[in-house]
Structure formats: structure tokens, C-alpha cells
């Protein structure tokens, strides 16, 4: 591929990740409302089950076309993401949402550390500056105070698993395998969340009992679930992990924006300053030549 073609593909991958984070950000106020009536893990299990079923209906042979090695990679990635979802959810029960959002966002810091340790990539000073700027922006945007307890600890473990998922996806995903890998990941996440719902909650799985709740769930399953994971898997086949993590740190910025536009919240100085800091970090990493962001990642064989 020519340099022009690579730049165009890289830009498209960046825009795809941004669209994905916008989808995720749009779900925050929907989830907050839905979880008043449906237990969290039950919601997650049903959400990813619907997403996986829809993806299988559209592409029933996609998983079969994957090589055994790629299927193993997708299983590992689905387990990482699914367990991270459970830990983040469990942590939310013991820590304020703002603190949980900040700690989860620390995957921005963990991703380059994992990339350097596992993939032997060299992270430049400019990239570290962007990572720290994004992290500081997340703190300004979300934090009212921070204390370390059980909830914060398991949320941090979840953030580390998200970082490992980002690094693994960057190393293992290819455009040709993106659909099959996405479907298998979603199905693994659904199984993990369903098991957690059946083990940890009331007998059976609690389902929504009103049309509006089902509409929200289907949107989060198909758009913010199936389509978003497919978008991430494809985009990360074209972007290094650290760059992807910095772009994905825009999620809480989108969440704050939708909370203002659709959720009736007021704009605060912290929202503006924190959001601009995260946006600046993303622009810094996008403005640098790709070769300076981090070394090209060699796909791992496990």
C-alpha cells in the first residue's frame, strides 16, 4: 500500500474509533436509567447475547472461516473483555461512578506499558506526553475525590484487562478476520456475563418489562455492542495499541456531551477543560507521523 493509501486507511480507522467511542458515550444515561429496573450483570448478558445472535444471523459462517489460531486469539480477547466488564460492574457497586470512570480510563496509561513489555514496542516521549495529558484530562473531567478501597482495586484490575485487550487486539486482528473475531468475542462475553448473572443474582435472568427498555437494550446490543466491537476490531488492525487507547479516551468526553445534550445536565468548567485536554491529547498523537508514535506491531503467534 502506498504512503497516501496508508494515511487514508489510518485516518479512516481513527474516525471509526471515534464513532465507536461516541456510541459508547451515548449509552451512559440510557444504562443509568435501565439499571434502575434490571440488574447490571443480567443486562450485560442479555445485551451481548442479542448482539452475538444478530451477528451470527448476518454472517453465520464467519467464525468457521477463522483459522484455529485466530479462534484461540478471539477466545482470549473475549475472556479479557468479559471479565473486565464484570469487574468494572462489581466495582461500581462500591465506588462512585466518577471515580470508576477515571480508574477505568487508566487503560490509557497501562496500554503503552503493556505494549512495551509484551510487544517490545518503543514508546516515544511525545506519545507519553499525550498519554499523560489524556489521563490528566480524564481526572479533571471525572474526579471529585479519590480513595483506594475494594471497589477501586477491582476496577483497576478491570482497566488493566481492558488495556490487555487493546494490546492483544492490535497484535492479533487483521481486516480479513475482523468479522469472525468480533462475533466470537461477543459470544464469549455473552457467556461470561450470563454465567455471572445466573451465579450471582436471583434465580433466572431478569429481562426488561417495558418497550422503551427493550428499545434501549437493542440499541446498546446492536449499535454500541455488535457494531462497536466490529469497528474496534477492524480499526485496531490498522492502528498501534497506544494510539488506539488515546483515541478511545474520548469516550467520557462523548458521555459528558450526551449528558448535556440529551440528559439535561449543565455544562461545567471541569467538563470543558477536561474534555479539551483529552481532545488535545488525541490531536497530538494524530499530528505526529505514525512511525514516531510507536514501532509497528508485529502480529503475535500464540
Asked, for residue 298, whether it belongs to a domain, the answer is no
Asked, for residue 302, whether it belongs to a domain, the answer is no
Asked, for residue 5, whether it belongs to a domain, the answer is no
Q: What's the pLDDT score for residue 264?
A: 77
Q: What's the pLDDT score for residue 289?
A: 59
pTM of this prediction exceeds 0.95: no
Q: What's the pLDDT score for residue 202?
A: 65
Asked, for residue 1, whether it belongs to a domain, the answer is no
Asked, for residue 54, whether it belongs to a domain, the answer is yes
Q: Based on the structure, what is the number of domains in the chain?
A: 1
User: Which 3 state secondary structure label does DSSP give 123?
Assistant: strand
CB atoms within 10 A of CB 232: 26
Beta bridge partners of 179: none
pLDDT tens per residue across all 302 residues of the chain: 567 778 899 999 999 999 999 998 888 778 878 888 988 889 999 999 999 999 999 999 999 999 999 999 999 999 999 999 889 888 877 877 667 778 888 999 999 999 999 888 888 888 899 999 999 999 898 777 666 788 889 989 999 999 999 999 999 999 999 999 999 999 999 999 999 888 876 677 899 999 999 999 999 999 999 999 999 999 999 999 999 999 999 988 888 888 888 877 788 888 899 999 999 999 888 877 554 444 444 444 44
Q: What's the pLDDT score for residue 296?
A: 42
Asked, for residue 239, whether it belongs to a domain, the answer is yes
Is 139 within 8 Å of 274 (Cβ atoms)? yes
Which residues form the domain of 237? 12-292
User: Angle at which helices 178-200 and 40-58 pack, to 10 degrees?
Assistant: 150
The H or E element spanning position 116 is helix 107-118
Beta bridge partners of 123: 294
Q: What's the pLDDT score for residue 121?
A: 84
Residue 206 Cα distances to 192, 203, 292, angstroms: 16, 9, 49
How do the residues of the chain divide into helix, strand and coil, expressed in percent and rounded to 5? 75, 0, 25
Asked, for residue 4, whether it belongs to a domain, the answer is no
Amino acid at each position: 500500500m502506498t504512503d497516501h493509501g496508508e494515511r487514508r486507511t489510518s485516518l479512516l480507522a481513527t474516525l471509526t474509533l471515534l464513532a465507536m467511542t461516541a456510541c459508547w458515550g451515548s449509552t451512559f444515561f440510557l444504562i443509568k436509567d435501565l439499571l434502575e429496573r434490571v440488574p447490571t450483570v443480567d443486562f450485560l448478558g442479555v445485551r451481548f447475547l442479542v448482539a452475538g445472535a444478530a451477528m451470527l444471523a448476518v454472517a453465520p459462517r464467519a467464525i468457521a472461516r477463522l483459522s484455529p489460531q485466530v479462534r484461540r486469539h478471539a477466545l482470549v480477547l473475549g475472556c479479557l473483555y468479559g471479565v473486565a466488564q464484570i469487574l468494572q460492574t462489581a466495582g461500581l457497586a462500591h465506588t462512585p461512578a466518577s471515580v470508576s470512570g477515571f480508574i477505568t480510563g487508566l487503560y490509557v496509561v497501562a496500554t503503552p506499558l503493556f505494549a512495551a513489555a509484551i510487544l517490545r514496542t518503543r514508546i516515544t516521549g511525545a506519545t507519553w506526553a499525550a498519554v499523560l495529558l489524556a489521563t490528566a484530562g480524564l481526572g479533571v473531567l471525572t474526579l471529585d475525590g479519590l480513595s483506594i478501597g475494594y471497589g477501586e482495586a477491582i476496577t483497576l484490575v478491570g482497566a488493566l484487562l481492558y488495556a490487555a485487550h487493546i494490546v492483544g487486539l492490535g497484535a492479533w486482528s487483521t481486516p480479513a478476520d475482523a468479522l469472525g473475531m468480533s462475533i466470537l468475542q461477543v459470544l464469549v462475553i455473552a457467556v461470561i456475563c450470563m454465567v455471572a448473572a445466573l451465579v450471582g443474582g436471583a434465580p433466572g435472568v431478569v429481562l426488561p418489562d417495558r418497550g422503551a427498555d427493550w428499545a434501549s437494550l437493542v440499541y446498546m446490543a446492536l449499535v454500541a455492542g455488535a457494531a462497536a466491537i466490529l469497528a474496534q476490531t477492524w480499526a485496531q488492525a490498522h492502528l498501534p495499541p497506544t494510539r488506539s487507547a488515546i483515541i478511545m479516551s474520548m469516550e467520557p468526553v462523548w458521555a459528558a456531551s450526551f449528558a448535556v445534550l440529551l440528559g439535561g445536565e449543565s455544562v461545567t468548567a471541569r467538563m470543558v477543560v477536561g474534555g479539551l485536554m483529552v481532545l488535545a491529547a488525541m490531536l497530538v498523537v494524530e499530528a505526529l507521523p505514525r512511525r514516531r508514535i510507536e514501532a509497528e506491531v508485529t502480529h503475535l503467534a500464540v
